[in-house]
Structure 1
Amino acid sequence: MADVIRVLLVDDDALVRAGLSMMLDGVGDIAVVGEAGDGREAMTAVDAHSPDVVLMDLQMPHVDGITATRRLRARPRAPEVIVLTTFDTDENIVHALRAGAGGFLLKDTPPAQIAEAVTLVAAGNPMLSPGVMRRLMDRTVAQAGQYERARTALAALTPREHDVAVAIANGRSNAEIAAELLMSVTTVKSHVSAMLTKLGLDNRTQIALLAHDADLV
């Protein structure tokens, strides 16, 4: 049993858990050692069964899959986590990976690929559905475009306006910016007004977002 990959299933749908259990138990080097109906139960189940890999749903009552993943991965000797969901939004993908998931699969993934993902992730190798990988690639390209556009826009600012933009992005008030940059509040306001005109923006929140897109903070 030392070479068998121990798997915990976490999903609020008992039929999904039953199907996954039947499928994975048919793979020679994988054993389903436990189940949980939500992220809260997953904590107790991990303590009880010491799985190597957790197959984690996202949309569950009490504690959702992303929160459960973050909590599990923060533990010493944490199990690997593969998110298995029908919700492949950009937000879910990014949040799950940031929480520490080693894999992100859709529930329509063929059984052989789910088993392959368990084996790969257990060995420390990431595994993403092809569609998920494409979304991440598209997101990266889009973010690169946002970065270049933001950098180009901010190049129109004077060095002092640039400093004020960074301070705004860091959440500073006009009074705090004035104290930090050794200028009057009136001067800060003048810089903000000038930046809004140059950048074609409506408010300081948009300045902050532009600074974030340019990776200045």
Structure 2
Amino acid sequence: MKSVVLLDYGSGNLHSAKRALDRVGADVTVTADPKAALACDGLVVPGVGAFAACMEGLLAVKGDRIIGQRLAGGRPVLGICVGMQIMFERGVEFGIEAAGCGEWPGTVDRLAAPVLPHMGWNTVRAPEKSVLFDGIDAETRFYFVHSYAAQRWELEPSEVLAAPLLTWADHGGDFLAAVENGPLSATQFHPEKSGDAGAALLKNWVDSL
């Protein structure tokens, strides 16, 4: 059984996320303890609410350092919703810019859609060879609730690093619905609220640990 730590930094649907991870056979611990977060097979970083508030909570438990140390050692991390957004360099909400973890370059900003938040079920366009979406039908819908997202990918592939696998969705324009980039994966949607589809994705991630 793979050990998973659900990082408790004051943001995220911890109960729902734990239940969803339990369902797919992970041995889940909810904690902010650095030793546990560094030692586990996989770390999940949830997140709901404002980008700046999530970063404030993450910094308070030194979560940015935990994430950085895990990734430096090739140890898997999965970000969910705002937990995905804070992996980018910065977020802009109501004209206020806040620094993120900086694991990926780029800015999270407001969707250019007539109706916000983007709330409900939506299909995504996953790439070939995706681990997260392996065996999941292209017409499968996942549950989103957000007004902000990364709408561009600014990291160029190099000869050293493999090109990331980018999954896109549309709401008033394209935005990143998921990224798989070495040990760091993330989803803008909530797999823990996406029923069987979310369970299939989480199982794929847990099985890959």
Superposition TM-score, scaled by structure 1 size: 0.39
Superposition TM-score, scaled by structure 2 size: 0.40
Higher relative contact order (CA 8 A, sep 6+): 2
Larger helix fraction of residues? 1
Structure with higher Rg: it is: 1
